[in-house]
Chain A
Amino acid sequence: GIQVEQSPPDLILQEGANSTLRCNFSDSVNNLQWFHQNPWGQLINLFYIPSGTKQNGRLSATTVATERYSLLYISSSQTTDSGVYFCAVVSQGGSEKLVFGKGTKLTVNP
């Protein structure tokens, strides 16, 4: 089945810094989403982005489907950005299987 790898596994920033999180996947996808899991465990959808670029405030994401990777950019980070960021994909093979990477744990210090 499709493999999803996220990097880095851990990231520590000072408030105000920028960061880039990466998601590599092993097969063509028809669905890719980025999620933020807050310290209370709630999973919040950030972007649906199987290809192209999207922006939402300080966050933006780019997926290069032909090269099988996606990037999540966080600019001017805030302490509320702390948590775990997950990438999840559905392969183009026809299965509805939705597979997650292991996540990037982000800590933003004041």
Chain B
Amino acid sequence: NAGVTQTPKFQVLKTGQSMTLQCAQDMNHNSMYWYRQDPGMGLRLIYYSASEGTTDKGEVPNGYNVSRLNKREFSLRLESAAPSQTSVYFCACRLQGRGGRSGNTIYFGEGSWLTVV
């Protein structure tokens, strides 16, 4: 049981380049999330998806696009990377609903370190 898998783990981009961060979960969870973490800023929500085929903006969506093509995968795309997007990116998932503890626990990937130069 891999849980939440993010790729790549490390990436260096040049300003203006594009890339996609991939996230896959094997827990059959409905909700998936993308966060960025900057020093002293905690985790800020970029986009989230409550179910397959739906996405919603979070706190800091500008400069990003997402895609939830199936239940397992939720990708984050930077179309034209900027130095301000240098950050650690975390993907997370949650079952939803008011079920038991395990159903409402949030599971995180190990993070993707992105540097834009």
Contacts and interface: CB of A to CB of B under 8 A. Distances in A.
Which of the four size classes fits the interface of chain B?
Answer: 20 to 34
A45 B101 CA distance: 12
Given A42-B111, A43-B90, 14 more contacts: A31-B94, A33-B105, A41-B111, A96-B50, A96-B94, A97-B48, A97-B58, A98-B45, A98-B92, A98-B94, A98-B106, A100-B45, A101-B42, A103-B42
A88 interface: yes
Interface string A19-53: 00000000000110101000001110100100000
B96 interface: yes
Interface residues of A, number: 21
B104 interface: yes
Nearest to B113: A41
Interface of B: 31, 33, 35, 40-45, 48, 50, 56, 58-59, 88, 90, 92, 94, 96, 98, 101, 104-108, 110-111
Interface string A68-79: 000000000000
A42 B107 CA distance: 11
Contacts of A1: 59
Residue of A45, A95, A96, A102 contacting most chain B CB atoms (<10 Å): A96
A103 B108 CA distance: 16
A98 B33 contact: yes
List the 5 closest A-B pairs by CB distance, nearest first: A102-B42, A96-B50, A100-B43, A43-B108, A96-B31
